[in-house]
Amino acid sequence: MNITTLNTTNFRNIVEFKHDFSPSLNILFGNNAQGKTNIIEAIYIIGTTKSFRRVQDEKLINFGSEYVKIDAKIVKNEIEKDISIRFSRNNGKKILLNNKPIIKHADCVGNINVTLFCPEDLMIINGDAANRRRFIDILLCQTDRAYLSDLINFQRILKQRNNLLKEIRESRKTELLEPWDEQFCEFSCKITTKRDQCLRKINKMAHKCHQKLQFNENLALKYVCSIYSIEEENQADCKIAFKNKLKRVLNEEIAKGFSLLGPHRDDLEIEINQINTRFFGSQGQKRSAAISLRLAEAEYIKAITEEYPILLLDDIFSELDEQRKNDLIHMLQKKQQIFITGTSLAEFAGMAPEAKIFYIQEGKARIHAHTKQTR
């Protein structure tokens, strides 16, 4: 799959951008604060409808402009599609697929898949559990539309349930919870089961990728589930186990006024050589583990969709030593379309000669000479 053309207007500091891309390697280079990550962000939004920077859509509109437009031509499984996303300060967000408006924006996710590598990925290892849940949720949302809809439903029910718990603290009418708990258990089990299944696959893939990047190190991932033990495999067992656990914590939940168990409390344990990387890993080990997770994500998407996702590598080369940089380049060669950013062309000296190179300066992109001429 790939993105053949990107055409944006008023996207952050990029007032106009209209370029075709190479189906393999695209290099974006330029000084700091010129607009490289902004271009990566626009491509990411085409895949997921949302920014990875977790900002409101309005922030994407160029200062002083009223609207932003991101248009792209994409190809997936040999089918060409046009995606157009517009946000305006007054009229919100509109998405068009092949010129037809999409009512449920979630339906647009997965038309093209993207995997982003960025320095902030370290948070998946170092940060709190929400970062790790986000990693797995975004991956599942990109590859399984039913998961996205289950997650939206779960979040709605969780909010209601938390409001009710606060209400019950005053009224003591615990029977109010019953109808909500049925749905709460149902969606919780759907989500945890899918996360667990996905992570078992990711675990194997990440282990393999990590072995290639970091000899002698064994990377392992495990889903830490608050509602059932991983051994209880089927949905029915999961629901029974969860309902029983909920009964045991009911009084505590009422006292605290929020839900103490469920997919919103789960975590992912990441170990290197059986030692928890979050607490005991070196900076370099954490960085490599984060890259291995992203490589595994790309492999997972390939296994589901039969095509590699578009790889967006924002500013990660500057963080890697020569050996790891070379290993990573070697591993990426077979992957599909790649966008990679950096501050100088020298960072990409070893990369494929067929790259299309863009020089980014003050929000404008100029096509630069070929890599082979820059060596």
Ligand X SMILES: Nc1ncnc2c1ncn2[C@@H]1O[C@H](COP(=O)(O)OP(=O)(O)OP(=O)(O)O)[C@@H](O)[C@H]1O
Catalog residues that contact ligand X under the rule CB under 6 A: 12-13, 30, 32-38, 59, 61-63, 315, 343
Out of Mg ion, ligand X, none, which partner does residue 35 contact, by CB within 5 to 8 A per kind? ligand X
- DSSP H or E stretch at residue 134: helix 129-143
Nearer to ligand X, 42 or 124 (CB): 42
Region from 35-43, 156-164, 285-293, 345-353 binding Mg ion, contact rule CB under 5 A = 35-43
Out of Mg ion, ligand X, none, which partner does residue 38 contact, by CB within 5 to 8 A per kind? ligand X
Beta strands in the chain (DSSP E): 2-11, 14-20, 25-29, 67-76, 79-88, 92-97, 100-101, 114-117, 219-224, 267-272, 275-276, 310-313, 338-342, 356-361, 364-368
Q: Does 113 bind Mg ion (CB under 5 A)?
A: no
Nearer to Mg ion, 116 or 141 (CB): 116
Nearer to Mg ion, 37 or 192 (CB): 37
**Binding flags for Mg ion, 37-66, as an x/- string (CB under 5 A):** x-----------------------------
Q: Which of 258, 259, 189 lies closest to 225, judged by CA?
A: 189
Task: Quote the CA–CA distance of 95 and 144 in Å, as a whole number.
Answer: 20
Separation of CA 215 from chain center: 27
Region from 29-37, 69-77, 200-208, 344-352 binding Mg ion, contact rule CB under 5 A = 29-37
Q: Looking only at Cα atoms, what is the longest distance across the chain?
A: 75
Out of ligand X, Mg ion, none, which partner does residue 109 contact, by CB within 5 to 8 A per kind? none
Q: Does 193 bind Mg ion (CB under 5 A)?
A: no
Q: How far is the CB of 89 from ligand X (least distance, A)?
A: 11
Under 8 Å between Cβ of 106 and 149: yes
Q: Residue 66 to residues 9, 40, 42, 308: CA-CA distances in angstroms?
A: 11, 22, 17, 36
Q: Which of 38, 33, 34 lies closest to 8, judged by CA?
A: 38
Nearer to ligand X, 34 or 292 (CB): 34
Out of Mg ion, ligand X, none, which partner does residue 158 contact, by CB within 5 to 8 A per kind? none
Separation of CA 258 from chain center: 27
Q: How far is the CB of 122 from ligand X (least distance, A)?
A: 15
Strands 25-29 and 356-361: parallel
Region from 33-41, 144-152, 165-173, 245-253 binding Mg ion, contact rule CB under 5 A = 33-41
Q: How far is the CB of 50 from ligand X (least distance, A)?
A: 16
Out of Mg ion, ligand X, none, which partner does residue 142 contact, by CB within 5 to 8 A per kind? none
Region from 14-22, 34-42, 93-101, 173-181 binding Mg ion, contact rule CB under 5 A = 34-42
Q: How far is the CB of 37 from ligand X (least distance, A)?
A: 3
Q: Residue 136 to residues 36, 131, 199: CA-CA distances in angstroms?
A: 26, 9, 8
Nearer to Mg ion, 52 or 87 (CB): 52
88: which strand partners?
67, 92
Nearer to ligand X, 30 or 262 (CB): 30
What SS3 class is residue 20? Answer: strand
Give the 3-state secondary structure percentages of the chain, helix then strand then coil, rounded to 5: 50, 25, 25
Contact residues for Mg ion, defined by CB under 5 A: 36-37
